[in-house]
């Protein structure tokens, strides 16, 4: 769906319109999240959020395709919310347990379908704090896959985990797959998230975007957003020197963010996905 054949000005106009639509959707999402009384509210809010996220996802994918020289049609965000099924309040605990599959003992991890899967060109904060617990090279991937679990896995029995797989080098593209929903209470308040986004000027939108989900914790330390400590994803052997002071995730975030700027206008991703949803946080995993 690349549009190389379109006149440059026509393409620019399309980008502008798409960016505008995405930004509006982002605002809508922020408003939604901001007014959500309680993350565990079993109402329609999660459903509406999913819809908004899907809209954002579409905008982002389109912008991504429009701005990428490589054919990334297969790498586009599949469906930010597709597999999200917010359990009824009373079933939530059960859902969280099962969301991890049938793990009973170490190594036994038969998972259910991912709660979310998203691709993004940069790694951003989704409002949750993640703890990396492993990384591995997988058969069909050129890059390492990193495994993260919610930092509150033990203190709050939060079952949320996510896998981050780099799927493309240039421009950098990451696929984040979420499993389970957060049931921890330590998410960032919408105000903080908004504040943060506001302070990061342009990048503000980024964050929220795909991400979508709930949020939590800390804010963005030195890096633009986020915090979470996540994403370092693959080890970046070379060149981390510059980022040594940041949590792995942070430096990766920064790194990606910068790269992002070079490739695609940040706006495109702005959203970013990065946040990938995790940002998603917003969604909070329904949880």
Q: Which residues bind DNA (CB under 7 A)?
A: 100, 102-103, 105-111, 129-136, 138-140, 145, 147, 149, 151, 161, 163, 179, 229-230, 232, 235, 244-249
Q: Which is nearer to DNA, 9 or 241 (CB)?
A: 241
Closer of 132 and 266 to DNA (Cβ): 132
State in angstroms the smallest separation of the CB of 79 from DNA: 18
- Least distance from DNA to the Cβ atom of residue 52, Å: 28
The least CB distance from residue 71 to DNA, in Å, is 23
The full 3-state SS of the chain, as one line of letters, equals CCCCCCCHHHHHHHHHHHHHHHHHHHHHHHHHHHCCCCCCCCCCHHHHHHHHHHHHHHHHHHHHHHHCCCCCCCCCCCECCCCCCCCCHHHHHHHHHHHCCCCCCCCCCCCCCCCEEEEECCCCCCCCCEEEEEEEECCCCCCEEEEEEEHHHCCCCCCCEEEEEEEECCCCEEEEEEECCCCCCCCCCHHHHHHHHHHCHHHHHHHHCCCCECCCCCCCCCCCCCCCCCCCCCCCCCCCHHHCCCCHHHHHHHHHHHHHHHHCCHHHHHECECECEEEECECHHHC
Toward DNA, which CB reaches closer, 129 or 193? 129
Work out how close the CB of 224 gets to DNA at its nearest, in angstroms, rounded to a whole number: 16
Residue 31 or 235 with smaller CB distance to DNA: 235
What's the CA gap between 15 and 169, in Å, rounded? 23
* Cβ distance to DNA smaller for residue 190 or 247: 247
What SS3 string covers 23-47? Answer: HHHHHHHHHHHHCCCCCCCCCCHHH
**Nearer to DNA (CB atom), residue 4 or residue 239:** 239
Closest approach of DNA to the CB of residue 63, in Å = 29
Q: How far is the CB of 201 from DNA (least distance, A)?
A: 25
Q: How far is the CB of 1 from DNA (least distance, A)?
A: 28
The residue among 12 and 103 lying less far from DNA, judged by its C-beta, is 103
């Amino acid at each position: 769906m690349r549009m190389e054949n379109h006149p440059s000005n026509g393409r620019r106009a399309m980008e502008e319109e798409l960016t505008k639509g995405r930004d509006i959707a982002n605002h809508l999402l922020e408003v939604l999240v901001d007014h959500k009384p309680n993350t565990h509210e079993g109402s329609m809010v999660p459903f509406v959020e999913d819809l908004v996220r899907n809209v954002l996802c579409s905008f982002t994918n389109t912008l991504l395709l429009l701005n990428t020289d490589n054919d990334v049609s297969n790498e586009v965000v599949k469906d930010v919310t597709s597999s999200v099924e917010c359990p009824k309040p009373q079933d939530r605990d059960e859902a969280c347990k099962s969301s991890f599959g049938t793990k009973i003992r170490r190594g036994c991890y038969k998972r259910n379908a991912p709660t979310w899967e998203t691709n993004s060109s940069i790694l951003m904060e989704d409002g949750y704090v993640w703890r990396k617990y492993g990384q591995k090279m997988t058969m069909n991937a050129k890059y390492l896959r990193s495994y993260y679990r919610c930092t509150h896995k033990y203190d709050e029995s939060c079952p949320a985990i996510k896998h981050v797989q780099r799927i493309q080098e240039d421009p950098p593209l990451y696929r984040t797959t979420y499993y389970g929903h957060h049931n921890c209470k330590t998410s960032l308040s919408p105000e903080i998230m908004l504040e943060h986004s506001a302070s990061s000027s342009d990048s503000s939108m980024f964050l929220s975007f795909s991400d979508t989900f709930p949020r939590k914790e800390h804010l963005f330390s030195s890096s633009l957003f986020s915090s979470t400590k996540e994403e370092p994803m693959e080890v970046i052997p070379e060149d981390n020197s510059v980022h040594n002071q940041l949590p792995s995730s942070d430096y990766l975030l920064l790194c990606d963010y910068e790269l992002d700027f070079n490739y695609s206008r940040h706006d495109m991703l702005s959203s970013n996905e990065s946040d990938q949803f995790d940002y998603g946080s917003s969604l909070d995993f329904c949880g």
